[in-house]
Structure 1
Amino acid sequence: MNHGCKACGKPASKRCAGCTVSTAWYCSTDCQRRNWTEHRFECCPRTTADHLALAVRKNLIPDDLQTCEDFGFARAFSIENKSSLLGLYIGLIERLQVSPKKVRQWQIEGTLVENIKATFSALPAHSRGGYYPWFLRNQWVLDPRLPAPRNPANEMLTRGWQYVRGRPNTDSPDRIAAETSSWPEEKRACQFLCNLILSQMHPSPELDIWVTFGFCACHDEEDERRLARVYTQLIQSGKCTFEELYRAYQTSALIALFNSKGLRAQAESILHLDEVLKSSPRVFPSVCYLKQLVMAQGEGPEPIPSVTADYGFINCVDDGETTLLKDLYRQIFALPRARTDLMKLHVACIQGKLYDYVGRLVKLQKRDQKVFKRLLKNPYPLPNV
């Protein structure tokens, strides 16, 4: 059986001797050393703190059951809550430099909630990030003494249904589900967005509506919250009815709707939002689906054919190379706003210049250049017909 190097994707014949991780194969000692920063957290992890550290490092919700139990992921009922909880730990461990061992100590002592509050409240309010306010509203996720919301999915559904109907809701969740089951997919997508927005949430990359309502155009979480506020002003403030929202979505006229409701400036603050939404919900540049593929938590969506061909995944010979390519694109999307641009990546793709463009953004190790030059080939530019 052939194995790909965990660090560079090249054929590998050496396996980490200290653990049983099935993907811990390397082509050289140098690659093993280079990958140790990440691999040390999965190489025979001793405590749930190690699993949490690995999740933070990979920006992925932990899959270890005891870690989920210890650090609140098991109580979080939705992917949005789990993603927000992960964001809180990323801020705590990576940005504020609180060690996973210390976080584990707080958890054992039963002081996790109090110490998270103390750590973040010591910062100026504008420096605490967006996940800390979410945490203050949802402390029940980490404190089992506090009751979880009653039937949170039903409460979310009921909130959205009141807006859909334009009147106080008296329908049961079963009655709502029965009525909406016959709706067109696009109408149900609008309802789902309303459910989230009216529950002070917004779509995450695991959801199709993260693309179709333009959240894929956002550079970072702050941008996503800004776009969510645009939809909140439409929906919660009563600027438009559900039928207006649905009609605009169905006819690729969301930007026109924003403009007509006095939200032009807020929408224009999201770079390329108009380009992403101009043909929504049916046609998008493949770079939108690429971003969804690499930013989704866990397994995430399967790559659509255009992403596979356009962005090099068709060239991957094994899972190691697929992971390597995903990590590269994830690194690009995480670059500062001034250095990365969704549509410039799209243009480089259709010009057949992915390798050149990526090389200007990310310093590729000399030993990795050959493999990336192969992976980043695509069928573009297409010959003139």
Structure 2
Amino acid sequence: MECSVCKKPTAKRCSRCHTTYYCGTSCQKKDYPNHVRDCPSRTADILVKNVFADTIPTNEAVRYEYGFCNCIGPLEESNLLGLYIGLIKYIEISASELHSWWNSGNLSSHIKKVCEEKGYNKSEYYKWFLENEHVLQGLRKYEGKKTDKRSIIEKFSEKVIPYLSEHDQKVPFESLPESKRNVFALYATVLNGNIPGIEQIIWTEFGFCCCKYADEFLGQIEEIRLRDVYRELIIQKGCKVDEFHDAYLSGSIMDLLKKECSSDNFNWLLENKIEIKGYQKMKKSVYNLKQYALSDAVDLPRPVNVDYGFMNCSTEDERRQLKNIYRKLIKNPRFDPQDLHEACIAGKIFDYVRSILPNEALKANLFKNPYPLKDI
């Protein structure tokens, strides 16, 4: 072949497009203004630029091909960028190497191998990656508008398939029993790196309702920690849907978590009073109250109506005021749902609310309930 500038014979070519030949760097630099318009930048090259600029990629192809689209929120994207920074700046992996790893479909395994070999395995970003390896699974070439035409539900649910039995993989989701649909929803949420929405049944069924909620940010931190406990069980321990479902039906999820999860994670569950009762097992209405008070999309549950005084409201305005009081109560750092539950069954809700919110204008009659129950 010949140099595209001086026409001298050469075997050297552009390392990016591999189609244009140059005899050396001098001719390559001369041709740069022309060639740059025709030479397509590999996503790995753009990612390297992002790494040295310490910026989260905004290029859609880079985000899609290198896992940023699989991250949930800026914190996960920052951790993934940190992983690439370690690879590129400190281990000195080139864009060409990174591209070849991606092109082989084995990006994750190459990253693990090189990090272990180069002693980067103690990095916090690498530890995060080992717990979140799913962000680099199923990576495909970005093809603009043609990319990934699957529905959001299909993409959200596909990660659960390996955890389903052969039978359940072949049947429509709607044909599964309600209890298994709940487990499926939990798996899909956890495997996609999410936490349940407050309106979802899995928020109350699987203990997220027990997390502290002094404000939205603290609530999310606590719920993320609980999500990560489930991630350990599902991803690291390989717990299948049927095994989890059996524990859900028998009310023994806590036993399963104790058996499979680290002592640090299980002790955190105990210390933070996380309750996971099981399917159709009696649950404290205080958690339904939390769900109702914190969301504007949840209807007033009957137990909450009776237990927490909403039946005493004579107007819709009074009901809104009472709901707002409970919302402020739940977001107060001193609030403890167990204490409110005990005040409820003792018939002393007003005293408890007043102790936490002394400056609120409270109507004692609105907090009355049928408790304590008389002995029969």
Which of the five TM-score ranges fits, normalised by the shorter chain? 0.5 to 0.7
Q: 1:286 to 1:196 in 2, by over 3 A?
A: same
1:123-155, Cα deviation, whole Å (9 max, x unpaired): xxxxxxxxxxxxxxxxxxxxxx99997522211
Counterparts of 2:349 and 2:147 in 1: how far apart (Å)?
47
1:379 alignment counterpart: 370
**How many angstroms does 1:280 deviate by?**
4.7
The one-letter code of the counterpart of 1:380 is Y
Map of 2:326 onto structure 1:
329
Structure 2 distance, partners of 1:148, 1:204, is 28
Query: What amino acid does structure 1 have at the position aligned with 2:156?
Result: M
1:208 is aligned to 201
Measure the CA separation in 2 of the matches of 1:264 and 1:257: 12
1:355 alignment partner, one of 340, 346, 350: 350
The answer to whether residue 238 in structure 2 is matched with residue 247 in structure 1 is no
Alpha carbons 2:232, 2:261 under 8 Å: kept:
no
Q: Could you tell me whether the CA contact under 8 Å between 1:197 and 1:231 is conserved in 2?
A: yes
Shift of the 329–273 alpha-carbon distance from structure 1 to 2, 3 Å rule, reads same
CA change 1:166–1:239 in 2 (3 A) is farther
* TM-score, length basis structure 1: 0.55
CA distance in 1, matches of 2:281, 2:232: 25
| Structure-1 separation of matches of 2:367 and 2:208 | 26
The match for 1:184 is 177
% identical equivalent positions: 30
Paired residues of 2:210 and 2:275 also in contact (CA < 8 A): yes
Q: What is the 5 A alignment of 1:247-326? A: 247-270=246-269, 276-296=275-295, 298=296, 300-326=297-323
Q: Encode CA deviations 1:324-369: one digit per residue, 9 max, x unaligned.
A: 1111111111111xx111110000000000000100000234xx33
Q: Which structure carries more helix by proportion?
A: 2
What letter is aligned with 1:350? Answer: I
The alpha-carbon distance between structure 1 residues 353 and 148, as it changes in their structure 2 partners (threshold 3 A), is farther
Deviating more after overlay: 339-348 vs 258-267: 258-267
Aligned counterparts of 2:231 and 2:146: Cα–Cα separation in 1: 27
Aligned residue runs from structure 1 range 163-178, under 5 A? 163-165=163-165, 178=172
Aligned positions of 1:107-126 closer than 5 A:
none
Aligned residue number for residue 10 of structure 1: none
Q: Which structure 2 segments of 5+ residues have no match?
A: 1-71, 74-143, 213-218
List, as ranges, runs of 4+ consecutive aligned residues in structure 1 with deviation greater than 6 Å.
145-149
Instruction: Using the TM superposition, give the Cα deviation of residue 274 of structure 1 relative to its aligned residue in structure 2, in angstroms.
Output: 5.8
| CA distance in 1: counterparts of 2:356 and 2:280, whole angstroms | 30
Q: CA deviation at 1:231?
A: 0.6
CA shift, 1:375, in A, is 0.7
- TM-superposed CA distance for 1:275, in Å, is 6.4
Does the CA-based 8 Å contact 1:312-1:377 persist in structure 2?
A: yes
Q: Structure 1 residues 230 and 201, CA, compared in 2 at 3 Å: closer, same or farther?
A: same
Instruction: Classify 1:154/1:274 alpha carbon distance in 2 versus 1 (closer, same or farther; 3 Å).
Output: same
Provide the alpha-carbon RMSD of the alignment.
3.4
Residue 251 of structure 1: how far off its partner (Å): 0.7
1:232 to 2:231 alignment:
yes
Tell me if 1:196 matches 2:182. Answer: no
Contact in 2 for aligned 1:211/1:289 (Cα 8 Å): yes
Maintained 8 Å contact 2:249/2:278: no
Matched, 1:158 2:158: yes
CA distance in 2, matches of 1:209, 1:317: 32
Residue 62 of structure 2 corresponds to which residue in structure 1? none
Mean CA deviation greater in 278-287 or 206-215: 278-287
Shift of 1:184: 1.4
Per the normalisation by structure 2, the TM-score is 0.56
Give the direction of change, closer, same or farther, for the CA distance of 1:226–1:191 in structure 2 (3 Å limit): same
Distance (whole Å) between structure 1 residues aligned to residue 157 and residue 196 of structure 2: 15
Partner amino acid for 1:207?
Q
Alignment check: 8 A CA contact 1:267 1:273 kept: no
Distance, in Å, in 1 between the alignment partners of 2:258 and 2:238 is 12
Name the count of aligned residue pairs.
235
